[in-house]
Amino acid sequence: MNPSLTYGQALVHAARGRSLPAAEARLLLQHVTGSTAAQVIAHPGRPLGPVDRLRFESLVERRAHGEPIAYLLGWREFYGRRFIVGPEVLIPRPETEGLVDAALARMPAGEPLEIADLGTGSGCVAITLALERPQARVLAIDASGDALALARRNAEALDCRLDLAENDWLSGMDERRFDLVVANPPYIAAADPHLAQGDLRFEPRHALTPGDDGLGALHAIILQAVRALRPGGWLLLEHGHDQADAVRAALAARGYSDVFTERDLAGLERISGARRPRRARTRRSA
Ligand code: GLN
């Protein structure tokens, strides 16, 4: 058997033989050969050497078995930038760009705001905010040291100044005060069948679900952030499409003001937020 193959033959093998979408097959071929999309498209007759062929076929096989394309390529684009990703972090989602937009709308440019991103994972939210608002100081928090190491690599690759802390949400950070706290916490219910489908099967479970009804992490953050926010500061949360009522109720119950929800591009209630009142309620002791 001829161990070499042309680019065009390799793409046909992946698309027809293994039923990969043509765009994914092309991305894997670009990844293996270091070619651009234009090169792959313009030169179907270019030979794929035996080593590249083996690498390509192995990636195609893994993709055919469901491994996320982002993990195979090692990156995913978010807010127009390329973030390194691996199985230690959640793959950035398009709907999370809505969380970034909601934050940027509350971050006047040029102000030295202090921001915390809880459960930073790849760092996509924290790094985007830091790059879009260079005067802000952004602290990326995660309970996973492996995730933080990846967030640090992304910050370096994107030339971004970022502070990092290994911590369980904001617990124990009693002295810190922030103008804005953002989080895309794990919010999927433990019994949700989506956990057993698609990319989610390969992503870190602790990044997807806090267990039970999926609201545990949201509640913990709502409880902790009201103390960590400066008066007037915003808490912004991504949540499941059916959790907005519960999140708004929890925010109101903890004394936040200006509670709101925004929909994502699919029209689903996806981001909720609120602010710490300018005059913080004084807690009465019983
Ligand atoms: N903050 C990261 C993101 O939005 C990771 C979130 C998570 O792991 N739940 O993609």
pLDDT tens-digit series, residues 172-218: 999 999 999 999 999 999 999 999 999 999 999 999 999 999 999 99
109 burial (CB, 10 Å; 0-12 / 13-18 / 19+) is exposed
Grouping H, G, I as helix, E, B as strand and the rest as coil, residue 14 is: helix
- Say if residue 52 is in the same domain as residue 121: no
| pLDDT for 286 | 43
pLDDT for 47: 96
Q: Which amino acid, residue 1?
A: M
- Pocket test residue of 85, 89, 127, 236 for ligand 1, highest count of atoms within 8 A of CB: 89
Question: What residue numbers bound the domain in which 12 lies?
Answer: 5-65
- Within-domain flag for 78: no
CA of 138 to the centre of ligand 1 (A): 15
Together in a domain, 140 and 221: yes
| Residue 102 and residue 50 share a domain | no
Residue range 60-112, pLDDT digits in tens: 999 999 999 999 999 999 999 999 999 999 999 999 999 999 999 999 999 99
Is 70 a domain residue? no
> How far is the centre of ligand 1, averaged over its atoms, from the C-alpha of 126 (Å)?
10
Q: Mark whether 200 and 263 lie in a shared domain.
A: yes
Are 167 and 112 members of one domain? yes
Return all residues near 153 (Cβ < 8 A) that are at least 6 apart.
Answer: 84
CA distance 128 to 210: 25
The pLDDT of residue 282 is 52
Contact residues of ligand 1, CB 6 A cut-off:
90, 92, 96, 119-122, 124-125, 184-186, 207
Model confidence, pTM? 0.94
Read off the CATH number of the domain in which 203 is found.
Answer: 3.40.50.150
How many angstroms does the Cα of residue 240 sit away from the middle of ligand 1?
A: 13
Q: Are residues 40 and 120 in the same domain?
A: no
- As a whole number of Å, the CA-based R_g of the chain is 22
Give the model's pLDDT for residue 285: 45
According to DSSP, the residues that pair with 78 across neighbouring strands are 81
Ligand 1 site-directed mutation target among 146, 148, 184, 270, most atoms within 8 Å of CB: 184
Burial bucket for residue 152 (CB in 10 Å: 0-12, 13-18, 19+):
middle
CA of 1 to the centre of ligand 1 (A): 46
50 Cα–ligand 1 center, Å = 38
Number of domains in the chain: 2
Do 149 and 205 share a structural domain?
Answer: yes
Span from the CA of 257 to the centroid of ligand 1 (angstroms): 25
Task: Give the number of the atom of ligand 1 that is nearest the alpha carbon of residue 186.
Answer: 9
Residue 284 pLDDT > 60: no
Same-domain pairing of 56 and 130: no
For 262, list phi and psi in degrees, rounded to 5: -120, 150
Kindly state whether residue 27 falls inside one of the protein's structural domains. yes
User: Which residue has its alpha carbon closest to ligand 1 atom 1?
Assistant: 120
Residue 178 counted as domain residue: yes
Same domain (yes/no): 34, 152: no
159 plus 122 within the same structural domain:
yes
User: Which of 207, 186, 117, 187 has its CA nearest to residue 155?
Assistant: 117
Q: Which amino acid is at 68?
A: P
Q: CB neighbours of 150 closer than 8 A, spacing ≥ 6?
A: 84, 85, 86, 88, 89, 121, 122, 123
